[in-house]
């Protein structure tokens, strides 16, 4: 699905990530850890085509990222759902329209029943008419997750999804991600929350990757 | 509902975002700037159009009025004047292409000189030449050069003035004014495109978060551009509609054309020419569409 071969990423002359090799297989569950500024967000941005590697080969669903046009990358976003820590919305549109936005931009009509089910699944149906600034941090994260999965992507990339929410809400969000993984989705979560990783490993077979000294390592089982 | 309320509701409906345009936040200073720019430019465009059409009409009028008339001026001693006039009329009578020819009487001569010398001119005491007015046949023009030679041979005191030397510079001047009006229209269109491009760029820059979110959820460049283009096109159209209406009202309020007022009082629209300004709002919308689309696509190329 997503394959990195000796991928490196440079910013302003300095190398942030180097010699990264990884294959993300369908249905796998990965955590990505590392100290702040290690390059976790950059790694995820590479995985959904927002950034182009400065060296190496990055293949997304069998297609080399370098060969992909801007429209190809836009189309790719229907197969990769992204959740950011500072999940951004269109603040002037109600929650339900924000969640359905991936369908709107694809020119597809939203099925009201399915939308209701989706918002019910993340526990936000009663908030459907609220504007994003009116939502709490946990509600925004769940809304971002609902938006990320509305087009049934094969891969979900989450960047510090529990960074701004309490432990109880983190577990609730984690439960949703584990459910998605059990449906066959590939999940990658960038986090430095070890408790979250331990809790997840008790439920699914998750691999833990660590970015250290610009390189990607498979973390030990002592987590 | 009052007329003003109906217009406000109609214009509100025209500028209300629909479909893709809904993803762009509804307000902002660029919205007002675009409407104002389009309105001001449309107002000016109405005047440029009026100038152009009026000078066109004037050129046609001068051309037509002077083209079919000519004058023969007979300068001779008083004793010979009548005989020479008869000889000239006889020549004109047999010249192909001349519909009518007649000698102006004293009252007509006084009328022609009145604007310069006043009503009490003692015309009888002045050594004025006799004037013969010629009306050209609409079917075929007369041979001015041939007639001039014949008059010189048979009536040496008679000189033909076919108005060419008056007509040509006047028609040329009117043509230049028409050209200037058209150039002004072109400049107004270019200035409007430039200002709307700047407003669109400002709107795109101010909506960076909107663009990032749209990119994240898989929007293509054309979708994002369309969202902004629709917004700016409708604003351009509404602004131009209001500006055109105001411009047409202002032109209608100008003094009516009359012969004594000359060119200035003729600055306006006549008959079907009133339909021409109605093309300004759609044209403004097209300019806004092209300017915004190009600005949006250029800017989006830099964002993955």
Quickly state the pLDDT bin for A193 (edges 50, 70, 90).
confident
Interface of B with A in 285-304 (CB under 8 A): 301, 304
Confirm or reject contact between B220 and chain A (CB < 8 A). Answer: yes
Would you state the pLDDT for residue B91?
92
Question: Same domain for B123 and B190?
Answer: no
Would you state the pLDDT for residue A98?
94
Q: Residue B4 domain-assigned?
A: no
Beta strands in chain A (DSSP E): 2-11, 14-24, 29-33, 55-60, 63-64, 80-83, 155-159, 186-190, 206-212, 215-218
Question: Taking a C-beta distance cutoff of 8 angstroms, is the pair B189, A49 a contact?
Answer: no
Of the two residues B65 and B146, the one the predictor is more confident about is: B146
Quickly state the pLDDT bin for B258 (edges 50, 70, 90).
low
Question: Same domain for B188 and B291?
Answer: yes
Domain count, chain A: 1
Mean pLDDT of A162-175: 82
Would you state the pLDDT for residue A77?
87
Q: Any residues with CB less than 8 A from the CB of A122 and at least 6 apart, and which?
A: A142, A143, A145, A146, A176
Quickly state the pLDDT bin for B13 (edges 50, 70, 90).
very low
Of the two residues A173 and A24, the one the predictor is more confident about is: A24
Residue A202 has pLDDT above 90, yes or no: no
Mean pLDDT of B21-38: 78
Mean pLDDT of B161-187: 81
Residue A129 has pLDDT above 90, yes or no: yes
Residue B14 has pLDDT above 50, yes or no: no
Domain containing B87 equals: 76-156
Question: Taking a C-beta distance cutoff of 8 angstroms, is the pair B54, B267 a contact?
Answer: yes
Q: Residue A223 domain-assigned?
A: no
Would you state the pLDDT for residue B142?
83
Q: Residue B163 domain-assigned?
A: no
Question: Same domain for B117 and B36?
Answer: no
What are the structure tokens assigned to A24, written together? Answer: 């993300």
Residue B264 has pLDDT above 70, yes or no: no
Distance from CA of A2 to the nearest CA of B (A): 18
Tell me the residues of A at the B interface, defined by beta carbons under 8 Å apart: 49-52, 70-71, 73-78, 82, 84, 88-93, 97, 101-102, 104-106, 147, 151
Distance from CA of A153 to the nearest CA of B (A): 11
Distance from C-alpha of B1 to C-alpha of B30, rounded to nearest angstrom: 30
* Check: complex ipTM more than 0.95: no
**Residue A45's CATH number:** 3.40.50.300
Question: Among B99, B128, B156, which residue terminates a domain?
Answer: B156
Question: Same domain for B285 and B220?
Answer: yes
Closest Cβ–Cβ partner in A52, A92, A147 for B217: A147
Domain containing A163 equals: 2-218
> A-chain residues within 8 Å CB-CB of B221?
70-71, 74
Q: Residue B161 domain-assigned?
A: no
Q: Residue B67 domain-assigned?
A: no
Lowest-confidence region among A82-96, A174-188, B106-120, B173-187: B106-120
Quickly state the pLDDT bin for B265 (edges 50, 70, 90).
low
Domain count, chain B: 2
Distance from C-alpha of B274 to C-alpha of B271, rounded to nearest angstrom: 6
Subunit contact A106:B218, Cβ cutoff 8 A: yes
Percent of chain B surpassing pLDDT 70:
86
Distance from C-alpha of B94 to C-alpha of A108, rounded to nearest angstrom: 85
User: Phi first, then psi: what are they for B97, rounded to 5°?
Assistant: 95, 0
> A-chain residues within 8 Å CB-CB of B203?
none
Question: Same domain for B53 and B197?
Answer: yes
Would you state the pLDDT for residue B27?
64
Q: Residue B249 domain-assigned?
A: yes
Query: Of the ranges A1-15, B57-71, B108-122, which is most confident?
Result: A1-15
Question: Same domain for B191 and B43?
Answer: yes
Of the two residues B66 and B50, the one the predictor is more confident about is: B50
Would you state the pLDDT for residue B300?
85
Question: Taking a C-beta distance cutoff of 8 angstroms, is the pair A202, A23 a contact?
Answer: no
> B-chain residues within 8 Å CB-CB of A82?
216
Quickly state the pLDDT bin for A223 (edges 50, 70, 90).
very low
Quickly state the pLDDT bin for B15 (edges 50, 70, 90).
very low
Question: Taking a C-beta distance cutoff of 8 angstroms, is the pair A58, A64 a contact?
Answer: yes
Residue A105 has pLDDT above 70, yes or no: yes
3-state class (DSSP) for residue A78 = coil
Q: Any residues with CB less than 8 A from the CB of B210 and at least 6 apart, and which?
A: A90, B23, B24, B25
Would you state the pLDDT for residue B42?
92
Question: Same domain for B195 and B296?
Answer: yes
Mean pLDDT of B6-28: 58
What are the structure tokens assigned to A64, written together? Answer: 């080399």
Question: Same domain for B230 and B259?
Answer: yes
Question: Taking a C-beta distance cutoff of 8 angstroms, is the pair B104, B133 a contact?
Answer: yes
Lowest-confidence region among A21-30, A34-43, B197-206, B209-218: B197-206
Subunit contact A49:B304, Cβ cutoff 8 A: yes
Would you state the pLDDT for residue A205?
87
Would you state the pLDDT for residue B189?
86
> A-chain residues within 8 Å CB-CB of B25?
90-92
Would you state the pLDDT for residue A213?
87
Lowest-confidence region among A58-62, A104-108, B25-29, B243-247: B25-29
Q: Residue B208 domain-assigned?
A: yes
Question: Taking a C-beta distance cutoff of 8 angstroms, is the pair A215, A18 a contact?
Answer: yes
Would you state the pLDDT for residue A163?
78
Beta strands in A12-78 (DSSP E): 14-24, 29-33, 55-60, 63-64
Mean pLDDT of B291-299: 88
Question: Same domain for B110 and B225?
Answer: no
Question: Taking a C-beta distance cutoff of 8 angstroms, is the pair A128, A120 a contact?
Answer: no
Quickly state the pLDDT bin for B10 (edges 50, 70, 90).
very low
Question: Same domain for B126 and B15?
Answer: no
Closest CA to B62 of B179, B167, B173, B181: B167
Q: Residue B207 domain-assigned?
A: yes
Residue B5 has pLDDT above 70, yes or no: no
Size of interface A-B (CB pairs under 8 A): 59
Mean pLDDT (chain B, rounded): 81
Closest CA to A180 of A152, A216, A210, A211: A152
Question: Same domain for B294 and B193?
Answer: yes
pLDDT digit string (tens) for B110-167?
A: 777 777 777 777 777 777 888 898 888 878 888 888 888 998 888 888 888 877 777 7
Instruction: Nearest chain A residue to B210 by CA: give it.
Output: A90
Residue B2 has pLDDT above 70, yes or no: no
Would you state the pLDDT for residue B7?
45
> A-chain residues within 8 Å CB-CB of B214?
101, 105
Using CA atoms, how far residue B72 sits from B4, B114, B224, in Å, is 62, 20, 74
User: Phi first, then psi: what are they for A26, rounded to 5°?
Assistant: -60, 135
Q: Residue B165 domain-assigned?
A: no
Mean pLDDT of B255-283: 75
Residue A60 has pLDDT above 90, yes or no: yes
Lowest-confidence region among A16-20, B50-54, B121-125, B182-186: B121-125
User: Phi first, then psi: what are they for B131, rounded to 5°?
Assistant: -110, 135
Question: Same domain for B200 and B292?
Answer: yes
- Find the farthest-apart pair of alpha carbons in chain B and give their distance in angstroms, rounded: 103
What are the structure tokens assigned to A207, written together? Answer: 């691999």
């Amino acid at each position: 699905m997503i394959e990195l071969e000796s991928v490196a990423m440079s910013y302003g002359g300095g190398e942030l990530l180097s010699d990264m090799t990884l294959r993300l297989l369908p249905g796998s569950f990965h955590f990505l850890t590392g100290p702040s500024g290690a390059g976790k967000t950059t790694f995820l941005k590479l995985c959904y085509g927002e950034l182009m590697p400065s060296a190496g080969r990055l293949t997304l669903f069998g297609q080399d990222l370098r060969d992909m046009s801007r429209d190809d990358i836009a189309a790719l976003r229907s197969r990769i759902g992204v959740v950011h820590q500072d999940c951004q919305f269109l603040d002037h549109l109600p929650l339900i329209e924000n969640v359905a936005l991936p369908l709107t931009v694809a020119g597809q009509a939203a099925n009201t029943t399915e939308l209701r089910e989706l918002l019910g699944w993340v526990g936000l149906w009663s908030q459907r008419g609220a504007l994003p600034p009116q939502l709490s941090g946990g509600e925004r994260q769940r809304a971002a997750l609902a938006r990320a999965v509305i087009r049934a992507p094969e891969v979900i990339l989450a960047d510090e999804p529990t960074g701004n929410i309490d432990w109880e809400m983190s577990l609730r969000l984690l439960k949703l991600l584990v459910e998605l993984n059990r449906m066959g989705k590939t999940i990658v979560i960038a986090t430095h929350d070890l408790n979250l990783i331990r809790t997840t490993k008790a439920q699914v077979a998750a691999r833990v990757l660590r970015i250290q000294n610009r390189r990607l390592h498979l973390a030990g089982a002592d987590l | 509902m009052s007329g003003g309320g109906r217009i406000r509701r109609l214009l509100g409906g025209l500028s209300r975002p629909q479909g893709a345009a809904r993803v762009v936040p509804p307000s902002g200073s660029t919205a007002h700037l675009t409407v104002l720019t389009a309105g001001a430019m449309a107002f000016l465009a109405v005047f440029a159009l009026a100038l152009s059409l009026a000078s066109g009409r004037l050129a046609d009028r001068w051309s037509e009025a002077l083209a079919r008339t000519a004058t023969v001026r007979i300068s001779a001693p008083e004793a010979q004047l009548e005989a020479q006039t008869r000889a000239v009329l006889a020549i004109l009578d047999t010249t192909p292409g001349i519909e009518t020819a007649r000698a102006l009487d004293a009252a007509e001569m006084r009328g022609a000189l009145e604007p310069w010398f006043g009503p009490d001119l003692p015309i009888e005491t002045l050594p004025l030449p006799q004037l013969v007015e010629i009306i050209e046949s609409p079917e075929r023009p007369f041979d001015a050069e041939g007639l001039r030679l014949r008059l010189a041979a048979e009536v040496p005191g008679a000189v033909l003035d076919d108005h060419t030397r008056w007509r040509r510079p006047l028609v040329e001047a009117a043509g230049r004014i028409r050209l200037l009006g058209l150039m002004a229209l072109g400049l107004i269109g270019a200035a409007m495109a430039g200002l709307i491009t700047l407003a669109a760029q400002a709107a795109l820059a101010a909506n960076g978060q909107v663009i990032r979110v749209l990119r994240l959820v898989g929007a293509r460049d054309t979708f994002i551009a369309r969202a902004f283009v629709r917004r700016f096109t409708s604003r351009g159209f509404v602004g131009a509609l209001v500006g055109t209406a105001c411009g047409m009202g202002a032109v209608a309020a100008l003094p009516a054309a009359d012969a004594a007022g000359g060119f200035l009082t003729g600055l306006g629209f006549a008959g079907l020419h009133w339909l021409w300004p109605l093309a300004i709002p759609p044209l403004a919308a097209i300019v806004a569409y092209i300017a915004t689309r190009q600005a949006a696509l250029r800017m989006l190329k830099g964002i993955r």
